[in-house]
Amino acid sequence: MSTLSEARLVRLPTGEGGGHGETDGGYPARGAHGTLKGYMTGFALSVVLTLIPFWLVMGDVLGDTFRTGIVVMALAAVQIVVHMIYFLHMNTRSEGGWTFIALVFTVTLVVVTLVGSIWVMYHLDQNMMPMSPHEALHKP
Amino acid sequence: MHEMTPPPGATAPVFYEREGHAHEDGGTLLGFWLYLMSDCLIFAVLFATFGVLGRNYAAGPAGADLFDLRLVLVNTGLLLLSSITYGVAMLEMDRLRVERTLRWLAITGALGAAFVGIELFEFGHLIHEGATPQRSAFLSSFFILVGTHGLHVTFGIVWLATLMAQVRRRGLVPENQRRLMCLSMFWHFLDVIWIGVFTFVYLLGAMR
């Protein structure tokens, strides 16, 4: 009965792929927050990825709403990935991979929520009786 | 024939821990990340609401009539700059330089406050023009989505001020470092949400 409670936990030196190295006196691991170079790279990319869509829309460069919309949304997706990597330091290894798994799960739910809602409501809207703005305004 | 009692530890099983600790901080950062992911779902629902209702103007003003994209561009720049200044504050925190960390945090807070100020100015302008949340489904979903983001930034500033007071009082002790790392994730996360806001609400809305 007492033998199990006497079980000892022996810490072996970690081989490859262990944690992020020893912490000193409870301080969080050094260098876990990226480098100045990393932040500046992310910043430069973000500035470009922000200015292009604003330029496309404000200058009406492509001259086609649908095409502009697609390009703007694609650039937003790229910028989100840039922020994730350079600012939030997202990778598949931190916290034993759990942050990445949580992110994948969340992205799945976000896509289901967004695509599902818009898809269903669009078809519902199409199958409804048409209503002019005037009727909508004077609805009971 | 008496029973032999082994000395303590002689027969007890010994477990070898081969893997490094996955949660050196006691799991706080992972837990905070999970909170951010749940917050992400709140915004997903608000984005979905806007996606469904965003074109129902009820004969009222549309995004193209209301939005001033130059103002949105300035706000986007402010939030992006504040992300970078917070990053620099974290680098200074790594080197345990209290004064510099505090200075960069103060700049971050000022940029965040400017962002909220411009957003409130925009909201005031819209309401003054009669584009209130009650006007149409588009405006209801617009105000709730953009307002929720602005509220997050506001609470982020309050949190930032609290942490600056903590750092000033106790220095960059491990607890304060952990708290600053949580706020760092929160702040960058809000910048990511803003990418969605300026793209889906403002840019796509301004095009009709």
- Residue-wise pLDDT tens digits, B124-160: 999 999 999 999 999 999 999 999 999 999 999 999 9
CB-based contact B14 A7, cutoff 8 Å = yes
CB-based contact B51 A35, cutoff 8 Å = no
Cα angle B129, B64, A69; round to 5: 150
Residues of A in Cβ contact (< 8 Å) with B70: 58
Instruction: For A62-91, give the DSSP string.
Output: S--HHHHHHHHHHHHHHHHHHHHHHTS---
Which has the closest alpha carbon to B126: B78, B75, B65? B65
Give the contacts of A25 (CB within 8 A, at least 6 positions apart). Answer: B174
Is any Cβ of chain A less than 8 angstroms from the Cβ of B79?
Answer: no
Amino acid present at A26:
G
Tokens standing for residue A30 = 């050094």
Q: Once rounded to an integer, what is the mean pLDDT over residues B83-87?
A: 95
B22-41 pLDDT, tens digit per residue, is 455 678 999 999 999 999 99
CB-based contact A80 B195, cutoff 8 Å = yes
Residue with token string 């200015």? A51
CA-CA distances (angstroms) from residue B48 to A47, B44, B92? 27, 6, 39
More confident residue, A17 or B32: B32
For chain A, report the end-to-end CA distance as a whole number of angstroms.
77
CB-based contact B47 A98, cutoff 8 Å = no
pTM: 0.81
Tell me the ipTM for this assembly.
0.84
Chain A CA closest to residue B68 = A58
Instruction: For B55-94, give the DSSP string.
Output: T--TTS--HHHH--HHHHHHHHHHHHHHHHHHHHHHHHHH
CA-CA distances (angstroms) from residue B33 to A100, B43, B49, B206? 10, 15, 24, 33
